[in-house]
Amino acid sequence: MTNVENEAIVPAAKKVNPVYRALCKFGSFFGFGSKLYGSNKRRKKIFFDVITYVILVVGALTMVYPFWWMLVASVNGSTVDTLQTVFWPKSLIEGGIFENYARVIEKFDAFEGANYWRIVLNTVIYSVVPVVVGVIVSAAAAFAFAKIDFKGKNIAFFYCMFGIMIPFPALIIVQYCLYSAFNWTTNGLAMIIPGCFGSVMTAFFIRQYLYSLPTSIMEAAKIDGAGYWRIFWLFIIPLGMPAIMAQGILSFMGAWNNYLAPEMFIRTEEWYHMSIALSNLEGRISSDPDYNMAQIIAASVLALIPVLVLFGIFQKTIIGSIMLTGSKE
């Protein structure tokens, strides 16, 4: 590449269309080569860098704008102001920024036998117990699939993998009927027990990760007399921690944001999941004298905070784990 900057290659004496010449000159300013001008790598890179940043920044603003809107809309003093909020709150409710939050927390009392903290506790139970137990169960299965040579391993593996072909909405009716026959729908057990059996996708991703671990450690432990049970707890869990952690957090978020299953499986308000409470909240409180749409927005912000905080803390693990799946496929 010739590094001629803004300099004509073709002598000026030769006749060229002036419009074409101007276009080429314009192009050469950004480093593009043409018949009349040489290209300039450095300028070209700067040009494309600027375009890249513009695209990425515009995209990033689109991604965060709704969240920003939630924050600023949640402090408004009236429904109309909330609706018309664009970048900055139209009005501020009397009593300070957190007034709407405080009021909406009280309004969760509208649910029979529950209040805000009860619903938060329910949701925490639904998204911690099945996820912790389920991820350990999945990790155990992943360990067996990746490292133990047992009879019928492939059959068991494909048996499980074929199960994910059946979509969840197609199973939900019968699952609901089963759980209500077991009496699980009135006490939240329907959200807990099925999750404790692990998830095939989680097991699959952990298995992919465990494959990359060396088998020699396990062999050595075996020679020293350790059984598979001890190998699992002493080696596989700590060594597979990055994958287990990432899958655990992703499942936690999935359970926290779940809507379809709790809508179907929880029939008592006392045991409501946050998603269901939030989606029913507006209908319950919209006739209150001090109702203000900003309160609904405040409740949405409150429901978002735990996952966003978790994501903020573990973003490296989570994104790393997703990238690993991407490069493996």
Binding mask 227-256 for other proteins (x = CB under 8 A): xxx--x--------------------x--x
Q: Which of 111, 293, 295, 317 lies at the binding interface for other proteins (CB under 8 A)?
A: 293
> Which of 186, 187, 257, 268 is in the footprint of other proteins by CB under 8 A?
257
Q: Does 11 bind other proteins (CB under 8 A)?
A: no
Q: Is 315 in the site for other proteins (CB under 8 A)?
A: yes
**Euclidean distance between CA atoms 182 and 199, whole angstroms:** 21
Residues 14-53 that bind other proteins (CB under 8 A): 48-49, 52-53
User: Interface with other proteins includes 137 (CB under 8 A)?
Assistant: yes
Helix 99-107 and helix 274-285, axial crossing angle in degrees, nearest 10 = 100
For residue 171, the minimal CB distance to other proteins (Å) is 5
Interaction between residue 223 and other proteins (CB under 8 A): no
On whether the CB atoms of residues 285 and 275 are closer than 8 A, the answer is: no
The answer to whether 85 and 73 are in contact (CB under 8 A) is yes
Q: Name residues contacting other proteins, limited to 75-114 (CB under 8 A).
A: 82-86
- Among 272, 16, 312, 283, which residue's Cα sits nearest to residue 119? 272
> Among 127, 138, 208, 292, which residue interacts with other proteins (rule: CB under 8 A)?
138
- The CA distances from residue 218 to 34, 146, 222, in Å, are 62, 12, 6
Count of chain residues binding other proteins (CB under 8 A): 95
Please give the residues from 185 up to 214 whose contact with other proteins meets the rule CB under 8 A. Answer: 194, 196-198, 200, 203
**Interface with other proteins (CB under 8 A), residue from 145, 184, 205, 265:** 145
**Residue 68 vs residues 64, 75, 142: alpha-carbon distances, Å:** 6, 12, 40
Closer residue to other proteins (CB): 11 or 167: 167
Which 152-191 positions form the footprint of other proteins (CB under 8 A)?
Answer: 152-153, 156, 159-160, 163, 165-178, 180-181
Q: Does 323 bind other proteins (CB under 8 A)?
A: yes
